[in-house]
Amino acid sequence: MTTLSLTGANTLFYKEVLRFWKVSFQTVGAPVLTAMLYLLIFGHVLEDRVQVYPGVRYTSFLIPGLVMMSVLQNAFANSSSSLVQSKITGNLVFLLVTPLSPAAWYVAYVGASMVRGLAVGLGVLVVTLWFAPASPVQPWWIVIFGLLGAAMMGSLGLIAGLWAEKFDQMAAFQNFVIVPMTFLSGVFYSVHSLPSFWQAASHLNPFFYMIDGFRRGFFGVSDVPPAISLAVVVVTFAVVATVALRLLQSGYKIRH
C-alpha cells in the first residue's frame, strides 16, 4: 500500500476502534458478563460430573472455550455491524469518495475487529480466572490461534456485512450460521464424547480447530494435533480473506 493508503487505513482503523470503544459497556462489558454466566451455570451443574482431560476440572476446561468463543463472536460482530450500519445510515458514501484501496479497507476493518475480539477475550479470561486459576502450558498456541481466529472472523464479518442490506439479514447470518458453528465447536465438551457421526461432523467445522488449538495452549492436550488445527485455520483464513478482498475490489453491494 502507498503512504496515502497507509495513512487512510490508520485513520479508518482508529475510527472503527473508537466506534466500539465509545460504547464499551455494551460491546465489551456485556459479552464478558454473558461468558461469566455461562461459566457459573455450566460449571456449577457439571463440575463434579464431567472430567474431559485427566486432572483438569471441568470449570478449567470450560474457560478457554468461553474465551475463544467470545473472541470469535465479537470479532465477527464488529466488522459486520459496522458495515451494515454504514450502509443503512448512508454514511458509507464518505468512505467511497476517499482514495482508500480495498486492502486499506480490509486492514482497517479486520484490524479493529481483532482489537475488539481480543479485548473481550482478555476480559473474559481475567474475570473467569477468579473461578479457576490457569497456568498456560504452551502459551504460543494461545497467541497464534487467538490472533488467527480473530482475523478470520473479522474477515467473515466483512463478507457478511457486504452481503447484508438490512439488520435482519445480518441477524439471520449470525443466528443461523455463526452461533450454531460456535456452540457446536467443542466449547462446552470434548468431541470425543460424541457419537461417531457427530465426531465426524465436528471435524468439518473450522471453529472446532480454533477452539481445540487454543485450548491446547492451556493444558498441553487436545482432541487433534495442534499442527493439523493450525493448518486448517490458516487455509480457512486464507480463503475467507481472499473472498473478502475480492468483494471489496469489485465494490460488491457498496458501489451502485
Buried b / exposed e along 85-115 (16+ C-beta atoms within 10 A)? ebbeeeebeebeeeebbbebbbbbbbbbbbb
Helix-helix angle 226-250:206-219, to 10 degrees: 130
Question: What pLDDT does residue 256 have?
Answer: 56
Domain assignment present for residue 101? The answer is: yes
Question: What pLDDT does residue 212 have?
Answer: 94
- In tens digits, the chain (256 residues) has pLDDT values of 555 567 778 999 999 999 999 999 999 999 999 999 988 888 777 776 666 777 778 888 889 999 999 999 999 999 999 999 998 888 888 888 888 889 999 999 999 999 999 999 999 999 988 887 777 889 999 999 999 999 999 999 999 999 998 888 998 998 999 988 988 888 888 887 788 888 888 889 999 999 999 999 999 888 899 999 999 999 999 999 999 999 999 988 887 5
Domain assignment present for residue 25? The answer is: yes
Counting the structural domains of the chain, the total is: 1
- In this structure, the number of other CB atoms found within 10 A of the CB of residue 36 comes to 17
Domain assignment present for residue 49? The answer is: no
Helix (H) or strand (E) holding 189: none
Angle at 153 between CA 22 and CA 21, to 5 degrees: 5
Q: Tell me if 36 sits within 8 A of 128, measured CB to CB.
A: yes
CA distance linking residue 226 with residue 94, whole number of Å: 43
Domain assignment present for residue 11? The answer is: yes
Query: What residue numbers bound the domain in which 156 lies?
Result: 3-44+58-250
All three cell numbers of 26, joined, read 455494551
Question: What pLDDT does residue 135 have?
Answer: 78
pTM assigned to the model: 0.92
